[in-house]
Amino acid sequence: MCITKPPRGGMSSIKRREQALLFLRKAAQDEALPDAVIESDKVSDEVIGFHCQQAAEKMLKSLLSDLGVAFHKTHELGALMDTMARKH
């Protein structure tokens, strides 16, 4: 789902926006889960933290996609933030 480099000729702004919106929809799903289970003692802090990290990751990828910034496939928030800092 994530790009490592734009296609030849670059990705159109419409395609970038579609990819960005897809990442945002998926981030919203990851964000909704902790809200739904935060009071449950059957769900560990690690699971809640994982989905919070996933939501943040997808939000960063959404922003990078919308701006047309190529990024490597990674789950590391720091690497995505470094990519953003280098490009803008």
Is 7 inside a domain boundary?
Answer: no
Predicted confidence at residue 59, as pLDDT, reads 97
Q: From the CB of residue 32, how many other CB atoms can be counted at a distance below 10 Å?
A: 12
Is 8 inside a domain boundary?
Answer: no
Is 19 inside a domain boundary?
Answer: yes
Of the pLDDT bands very low, low, confident and very high (cuts 50, 70, 90), residue 14 is: confident
Q: From the CB of residue 64, how many other CB atoms can be counted at a distance below 10 Å?
A: 24
Q: Tokens representing 32?
A: 């909704």
pLDDT at 1 > cutoff 50:
no
How many structural domains does the chain have?
Answer: 1
Residues 43-87: tens digit of each pLDDT: 999 999 999 999 999 999 999 999 999 998 999 999 999 999 998
H or E element: which one contains 57?
helix 45-67
CB 54 within 8 Å of CB 23: no
Is 3 inside a domain boundary?
Answer: no
Q: What range defines the domain where residue 81 resides? A: 13-87
Is 1 inside a domain boundary?
Answer: no
